[in-house]
Amino acid sequence: MNKKTILAIDVGTGMVKVLAGRMQPDGSLGILGTGAAPTVGYDKGIISDINALTHSIRQAVDCVIMAADSQTTDNVYLGLSGASLAMQNSIGSIALANQETVTPQDIERAYTAASFAVIDNNYEKLHVFPVKESVIAEGTAFEVDVHMISAQKTILEGLTQLLAANGLTLKGIVAGGIVAAETIKKELTGHPSNFIFMDIGAGTADCVLYADGKLCSSASLPFGGDYITNDLMQGLSVNRSHAEEIKRYYSRLSPDLRNQGVVLDCNDYGTTDKHVSYDFLYDIIESRTEEIAALVHEAVKPLVDEHIAVNGLLEAVYLTGGAGTMPSMVTCIAKAFQAHTEIVKPMQLADEYASPLNTAGYGIISYGVQNLASEPVAGGKSAWGGFIHKAKKLLKI
Ligand X SMILES: Nc1ncnc2c1ncn2[C@@H]1O[C@H](COP(=O)(O)OP(=O)(O)OP(=O)(O)O)[C@@H](O)[C@H]1O
Q: Which residues bind Mg ion (CB under 5 A)?
A: 12, 201, 360
User: What are the E-state strand segments in 64-211?
Assistant: 75-80, 85-95, 123-136, 141-152, 170-175, 195-200, 205-211
**323 is in the binding site of which of Mg ion, ligand X, none (Cβ under 5 to 8 A by kind)?**
ligand X
Classify residue 334 as exposed, middle or buried by CB count within 10 Å of its CB (0-12, 13-18, 19+).
Answer: middle
Residue 341 amino acid letter = T
Complex with ligand X: residue 361 or 368, whichever CB lies closer: 361
Secondary structure of 313-330 in HEC code, one letter for each residue: CCCEEEEECCHHHCHHHH
Stretch that binds ligand X, among 51-59, 113-121, 245-253, 307-315 (CB under 6 A): 245-253
The minimum distance between CB 274 and Mg ion, in angstroms, equals 29
- Looking at 63, 184, 284, 357, which residue binds ligand X (CB under 6 A)? 357
Distance between alpha carbon 37 and the CA centroid of its chain, in Å?
18
Using CA atoms, how far residue 380 sits from 246, 371, 373, 376, in Å, is 57, 17, 14, 7
Dmax (CA) for the chain in angstroms is: 80
What is the DSSP secondary-structure string of 353-381?
G--GGGHHHHHHHHHHHHHHHTSPPTT--
Q: Should residue 247 be labelled a site residue for ligand X when binding is judged by CB under 6 A?
A: yes
**244 is in the binding site of which of ligand X, Mg ion, none (Cβ under 5 to 8 A by kind)?**
ligand X
Complex with Mg ion: residue 178 or 238, whichever CB lies closer: 178
DSSP H or E run through 297: helix 278-307
Q: Should residue 374 be labelled a site residue for ligand X when binding is judged by CB under 6 A?
A: no
Region at 174 (left for phi over 0; alpha for psi -120 to 50; beta for the rest):
beta
Q: How far apart are CA 45 and CA 154, in angstroms?
A: 13
The minimum distance between CB 10 and Mg ion, in angstroms, equals 6
CB 50 within 8 A of CB 10: no
Residue 181 amino acid letter = A
* Sign of torsion over alpha carbons 108, 367, 195, 42: negative
**326 is in the binding site of which of ligand X, Mg ion, none (Cβ under 5 to 8 A by kind)?**
ligand X
**208 is in the binding site of which of Mg ion, ligand X, none (Cβ under 5 to 8 A by kind)?**
none
**15 is in the binding site of which of Mg ion, ligand X, none (Cβ under 5 to 8 A by kind)?**
ligand X
Stretch that binds ligand X, among 7-15, 154-162, 180-188, 339-347 (CB under 6 A): 7-15
Q: Should residue 14 be labelled a site residue for ligand X when binding is judged by CB under 6 A?
A: yes
Stretch that binds ligand X, among 161-169, 208-216, 320-328, 385-393 (CB under 6 A): 320-328
Stretch that binds ligand X, among 98-106, 142-150, 222-230, 389-397 (CB under 6 A): 222-230
With vertex at residue 67, the alpha carbon angle to CA 183 and CA 157, rounded to the nearest 5 degrees, is 60
CB 211 within 8 A of CB 197: no
Stretch that binds ligand X, among 129-137, 138-146, 196-204, 361-369 (CB under 6 A): 196-204
Q: Should residue 22 be labelled a site residue for ligand X when binding is judged by CB under 6 A?
A: no
SS3 of residue 33 by DSSP: strand
Binding string, 225-244, against ligand X, x = CB under 6 A?
Answer: xx--x--------------x
Binding string, 150-189, against ligand X, x = CB under 6 A?
Answer: ----------------------------------------
Distance between alpha carbon 165 and the CA centroid of its chain, in Å?
26
Complex with Mg ion: residue 63 or 175, whichever CB lies closer: 175
Stretch that binds ligand X, among 93-101, 121-129, 143-151, 199-207 (CB under 6 A): 199-207
Q: Should residue 145 be labelled a site residue for ligand X when binding is judged by CB under 6 A?
A: no
Q: Should residue 92 be labelled a site residue for ligand X when binding is judged by CB under 6 A?
A: no
The count of other CB atoms within 10 Å of the CB of residue 269 is 5
**92 is in the binding site of which of ligand X, Mg ion, none (Cβ under 5 to 8 A by kind)?**
none
Residues found near ligand X in the complex (CB under 6 A):
12-15, 81, 201-204, 224-226, 229, 244, 247-248, 251, 321-323, 325-326, 357
